[in-house]
Chain A
Amino acid sequence: AQTVTQSQPEMSVQEAETVTLSCTYDTSESDYYLFWYKQPPSRQMILVIRQEAYKQQNATENRFSVNFQKAAKSFSLKISDSQLGDAAMYFCAYRPGGGADGLTFGKGTHLIIQP
């Protein structure tokens, strides 16, 4: 079974600084996808960024980027120029390449932005 581990229950960063959230995963599959979801206090889950395992290039979305290390099974999220609106729970998630499976989530990291 796949597992996703987020080792940082809580992180704090100053506004405008950069922060990195860690995620490791375990799978025997070769074809899979990794995601970072954000859940603000409104509770609405929002997709931040996704990575296809067979793509070497790290995904980026504006201020959000990932460091995908396939051999190490590591998938960290970097948030640059942190903004107050980035404060939320962040979940790392895994999904196999095919089929109808759901996501396997990590336990989440609570990100606090200090003004």
Chain B
Amino acid sequence: DVKVTQSSRYLVKRTGEKVFLECVQDMDHENMFWYRQDPGLGLRLIYFSYDVKMKEKGDIPEGYSVSREKKERFSLILESASTNQTSMYLCASITAGQGGNEQFFGPGTRLTVL
């Protein structure tokens, strides 16, 4: 059974804190993604990675960074959390190759920044 896991379902942090969101997949997928989901805005791509140590900016990378030291793990980092980063964060992975392959999602982390 394929699986994408995220380190926390709910997280509360204070403004200015450094925040790490972890994502692990067990499907040996090459490509991994971080999305942000806000009501009325859908899902927006923050960053993605197509290989270890490789990263590409998505549509809204400002205020975020990522790390991929191992194939199965992709971390999203908020260097200095701000209240406008309060949101739902979804991680996803997909095998490389055809664009029609299914992208598998984690259960999401609801982050609140106070």
Chain A residues with CB under 8 Å of chain B are 4, 6, 9, 31-33, 42-45, 47, 50, 52, 91, 95-108
Contacts and interface: CB of A to CB of B under 8 A. Distances in A.
A43 B45 contact: no
B15 interface: no
15 contacts: A32-B99, A43-B108, A44-B107, A44-B108, A91-B42, A95-B100, A95-B103, A100-B48, A100-B56, A101-B48, A102-B33, A105-B42, A105-B44, A107-B40, A108-B42
Contact of A97 (B31, B90, B99): B99
Interface string B28-44: 00110101000011111
Interface in B42-67: 42-45, 48, 50, 56, 58
Contacts of B35: 102, 105
Nearest to B56: A100
A46 to B, nearest CB: 8
Given A33-B100, A100-B96, A102-B33, A45 B45 contact: no
